[in-house]
């Protein structure tokens, strides 16, 4: 009988001891703890959640919020101070690049040693060896010491090992921040295949877009305590609202929401590209970046994709206010509008814009077919300014009307019924 939950966490907490100086640690140890020279720092406290098999949970929060500590506890790297957890099935984790690698061992030797630490026999790892080497794509470096690897090469090997052992639960901590675009795409595809096969995924990332697309639910960690738990869209919106109070030093920087991916190590001529993108008044060739509420506009996007059969793409765009609020977002993958051509001009028509006064940043993003992996981001040549000729406030004009009628108040209706 399959377990009801793959991960069960109840009242989990983790405290660390902080000493003012190294000597205090020695003095406390010599007195067997009777002379306390430390203060306790709780990195985690009162964490509760349950995950069913096949579900995916994202972790968001600022640096130091307790996300990585929670993952390390669940991965068995560090024990909890209070509470308990249960994981049903095998676990593979990708937390710190190179963690568990012996730097003087070759990549091939580390594949075997890592598999043994996960509970697999040498024979099983030998059987999976070719699959791991093929995924990592390290070439002749697979037989070189790991200390000669770059951080990206270490990531490739670590991810290849974790995926090849086919765990029931995959724990991933911000691994997409390293590696070129091609490898990031492979990672995303692999995680999606895990999800489709009913595996459980615990995913930590600063990219709220990745959390929304890859995860069903999410937890916002704040000072070691869950500040919000629920649907990934709801949680990321709550976290974004909180961040708006702390963006004075990063005003206008939207890269945490849609980070630009840098191409490296690939032939640019064979990669999908956005050639240009411009805004026009609807149905005209008048390029324009200043509009009035109620105007009609169209966004024209020129793109090229040398191999649409092997690398299908989609295009998305959004209107960001300067405080990082996404006022509207659209994508061909949301509208089930496939781009099968090798190149062309994609036109997005937006009649009767209802946005009120403000200045907006409008990035155009080239995605994979599912709208998860970002190939390229293209910024328009200018910000979009929307002006309003009325005194309405807010972000959008809502369709409405006023009317005066003669109706009893709710309290009067209840009195008449009694």
How does DSSP assign 264-316, residue by residue?
A: -SS-GGGS-EEEEEEEEETTS--B-SEEETT--EEEEEEEE-S-TTTS-EEEE
What average pLDDT does this structure show over 325-339?
Answer: 90
Whole-number average pLDDT of the chain: 83
**Domains along the chain with CATH numbers:** 7-245 (3.40.50.300), 268-387 (2.70.50.60)
pLDDT at 237 > cutoff 80: no
pLDDT band at 51; cut points 50, 70, 90:
very high
pLDDT band at 1; cut points 50, 70, 90:
low
pLDDT of 417 reads 63
Show the 3-state SS of 235-266.
HHHHHHHHHHHHCHHHCCCCCCCCCCCCCCCC
Identify the bridge partners of residue 125 per DSSP, sorted by sequence position: none
What average pLDDT does this structure show over 84-105?
Answer: 81
What average pLDDT does this structure show over 377-398?
Answer: 82
pLDDT of 254 reads 41
CA–CA–CA angle 182, 270, 259 (5° rounding): 45
pLDDT tens column, 117-147: 877 888 888 899 999 999 888 888 999 999 8
pLDDT band at 325; cut points 50, 70, 90:
confident
pLDDT of 143 reads 93
What six digits make up the tokens of 380? 């328009």
CA distance linking residue 142 with residue 246, whole number of Å: 45
CA distance linking residue 32 with residue 386, whole number of Å: 69
The DSSP secondary-structure symbol of 396 reads B
pLDDT tens column, 268-309: 567 788 999 999 999 899 999 999 999 999 999 999 999 888
pLDDT at 363 > cutoff 60: yes
**Range of lowest pLDDT (131-135, 223-227, 342-346, 408-412):** 408-412
Rounded to a whole number, what is the distance in angstroms from the first to the last CA of the chain?
Answer: 57
CA distance linking residue 237 with residue 246, whole number of Å: 15
pLDDT tens column, 146-157: 989 887 788 888
pLDDT band at 323; cut points 50, 70, 90:
low
What average pLDDT does this structure show over 68-79?
Answer: 90
pLDDT of 179 reads 57
**DSSP labels, 15-55:** EEEEESSHHHHHHHHHTTTSS--EEEEEEEEEEEEEE-TT-
Q: Quick one: CA dihedral 240, 241, 242, 243, positive or negative?
A: positive
Q: Which residues contact 287 (CB under 8 A, 6 or more apart)?
A: 278, 279, 280
What average pLDDT does this structure show over 13-41?
Answer: 79
The DSSP secondary-structure symbol of 171 reads E
Which one of 183-187, 198-202, 390-394 scores highest in mean pLDDT?
198-202
Work out the percent of the chain whose per-residue pLDDT is above 70.
87
Strands 343-350 and 290-292: unpaired
pLDDT band at 256; cut points 50, 70, 90:
very low
pLDDT of 382 reads 82
330-337: list long-range contacts, CB under 8 Å, 24+ apart: 331/367, 331/371, 333/367, 333/369, 333/370, 333/371, 334/371
Output the pTM of the full model.
0.64
**Range of lowest pLDDT (219-223, 235-239, 338-342):** 235-239
Q: CA gyration radius for the chain?
A: 26
pLDDT band at 101; cut points 50, 70, 90:
confident
Identify the bridge partners of residue 281 per DSSP, sorted by sequence position: 297
pLDDT at 6 > cutoff 70: yes
What average pLDDT does this structure show over 169-194?
Answer: 75
95/42: higher pLDDT: 42
CA distance linking residue 284 with residue 67, whole number of Å: 50
pLDDT at 264 > cutoff 90: no
Strands 38-51 and 56-60: unpaired
**Range of lowest pLDDT (49-53, 66-70, 92-96):** 92-96
Name the E strands within 104-247: 169-173, 200-204, 217-222, 225-231
Could you give the count of Cα atoms lying within 13 Å of 41 in the half-sphere of its Cβ? 12
């Amino acid at each position: 009988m399959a377990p009801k939950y793959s991960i069960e966490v109840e009242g989990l907490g983790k405290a660390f001891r902080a000493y003012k100086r190294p000597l205090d640690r020695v003095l406390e140890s010599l007195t067997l703890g009777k002379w306390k020279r430390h203060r306790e720092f709780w990195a985690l406290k009162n964490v509760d959640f349950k995950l069913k098999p096949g579900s995916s949970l994202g972790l968001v929060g600022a640096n130091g919020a307790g996300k990585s500590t929670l993952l390390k506890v669940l991965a068995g790297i560090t024990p909890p101070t209070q509470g308990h957890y249960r994981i049903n099935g095998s676990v593979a984790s990708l937390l710190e690049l190179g963690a568990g690698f012996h730097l003087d061992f070759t990549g091939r030797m580390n594949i075997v040693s890592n598999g043994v630490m996960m509970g697999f026999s040498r024979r099983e790892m030998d059987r999976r060896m070719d699959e791991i080497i093929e995924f990592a794509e390290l070439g002749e470096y697979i037989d070189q010491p790991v200390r000669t690897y770059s951080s990206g090469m270490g990531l490739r090997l670590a991810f290849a090992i974790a995926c090849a052992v086919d765990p029931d639960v995959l724990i991933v901590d911000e691994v997409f921040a390293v590696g070129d675009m091609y490898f990031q795409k492979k990672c995303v595809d692999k995680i999606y295949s895990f999800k489709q096969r009913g595996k459980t995924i615990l995913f930590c990332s600063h990219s709220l877009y990745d959390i929304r697309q890859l995860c069903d639910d999410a937890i916002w960690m704040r000072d070691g305590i869950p500040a919000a738990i629920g649907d990934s869209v709801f949680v990321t919106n709550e976290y974004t609202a909180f961040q708006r109070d702390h963006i004075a030093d990063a005003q206008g920087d939207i890269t945490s929401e849609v980070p630009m991916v840098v191409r490296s190590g690939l032939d640019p001529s064979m990669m999908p590209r956005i050639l240009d993108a411009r805004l026009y008044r609807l149905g005209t060739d008048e390029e324009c970046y200043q509009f009035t509420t109620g105007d009609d506009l169209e966004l024209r996007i020129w793109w090229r994709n040398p191999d649409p059969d092997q690398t299908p793409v989609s295009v998305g765009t959004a209107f960001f206010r300067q405080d990082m609020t996404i006022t509207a977002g659209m994508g061909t993958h949301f509208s089930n509008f496939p781009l099968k051509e090798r190149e062309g001009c994609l036109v997005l028509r937006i009649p009767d814009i209802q946005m009120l006064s403000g200045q907006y940043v409008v990035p155009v993003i080239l995605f994979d077919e599912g709208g998860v992996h970002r190939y390229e981001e293209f910024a328009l040549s200018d910000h979009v300014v929307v002006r309003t000729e009325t005194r309405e406030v807010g972000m959008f004009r809502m369709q409405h009307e006023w009317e005066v009628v003669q109706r009893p108040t709710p309290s009067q209706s209840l009195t008449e019924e009694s």
